[in-house]
Amino acid sequence: MKRIDVGNHGFQSVQELREKVGTPHEAVVKKNVGIVDDKARYFIAQSPMVMIATSNEKGQCDTSPRGDHLGFVHVANQKQLVIPERPGNRRVDTLCNIMENPHVGLLFLIPGMKEVLRVNGQATVIYGHEVLEKLELNGKVPPLGILVEVEECFIHCPRALKFSGIWEPQSWPSKDSLPSAAEIFKAHLAINSSVSSK
């Protein structure tokens, strides 16, 4: 495998980067607020999916999707929201990262809408609290939840989702041309088996 050698083609400082890309418009900076206002609350209420970005104490990053019914993320107030952690495969990568490093980044999506809502803050993994009852689904209260103390909230421009055509069925690849999740899963197990046997 031939690796890419960037040599002296990588930026060495933020100042050097800024000299290359310039500075953002004042409005782009000022759109960032420290609360979940009524408009953002409504956006979250219409979102069936949020991406959660975390990293561990070493800075190793992970992004995990969470999908559920519309408005499954509970906005408790302008500074706090709660994400249900329903039973899954028990890897709990996101939860383990939060235990080591509470900083999280959230990306809320609404099907068909090209803008996304970004929320950043600090998280705590909670259990047994009465707020989890508000996240009940089919008569079951999630055993765990992620409480996020909001530090930043802002709308993100539509450029990425617009250019990707992600909501346009005519741009989607044929499912027959794609490897299935099972095929990818088996291939990765084979890679690890090959490495561990050496």
Domain coverage including residue 110: 14-164
Instruction: Look up residue 117 and give its two tokens.
Output: 């809502």
Q: What is the pTM of this model?
A: 0.90
In this prediction, residue 31 carries a pLDDT of: 82
| CA proximity to 117, closest of 50, 64, 48, 17 | 50
Three-state DSSP at 53 gives strand
CA dist., res. 194 & res. 186, Å (int): 12
Amino acid, single-letter form, for residue 73: V
Is 1 contained in some domain? Answer: no
Specify whether the CB–CB gap between 23 and 66 falls below 8 A.
no
Token pair in block for residue 113: 């809408």
* Residue 198 maps to a domain: no
- Going across the sheet that includes 80-85, the strands are 61-67, 49-55, 103-109, 116-127, 144-156, 80-85, 74-77
Whether 117 is covered by a domain: the verdict is yes
Question: Domain of 36: which CATH number?
Answer: 2.30.110.10
Name 110's Cβ contacts closer than 8 Å, sequence gap at least 6.
43, 46, 47, 48
Give a yes or no: residue 160 inside a domain. yes
Q: Is 196 domain-assigned?
A: no
- As a whole number of angstroms, the distance between CA 116 and CA 103 comes to 20
* Domain presence at residue 186: no
Task: Say what the pLDDT of residue 30 is.
Answer: 77
Per-residue model confidence (pLDDT) at position 40: 97
Kindly give the confidence (pLDDT) of every residue in the chain, 198 residues in length, as a single tens digit, with 9 standing for 90 and above: 899 999 889 999 999 999 999 988 888 777 889 999 999 999 999 999 999 999 999 999 999 999 999 999 999 999 999 999 998 889 999 999 999 999 999 999 999 999 999 999 999 999 999 999 999 999 999 999 999 999 999 999 999 999 999 999 999 999 888 999 899 999 999 988 876 655
Residue 79, both tokens: 């500074």
From CA 124, how far away is CA 145, in angstroms rounded?
8
- Number of structural domains the chain divides into: 1
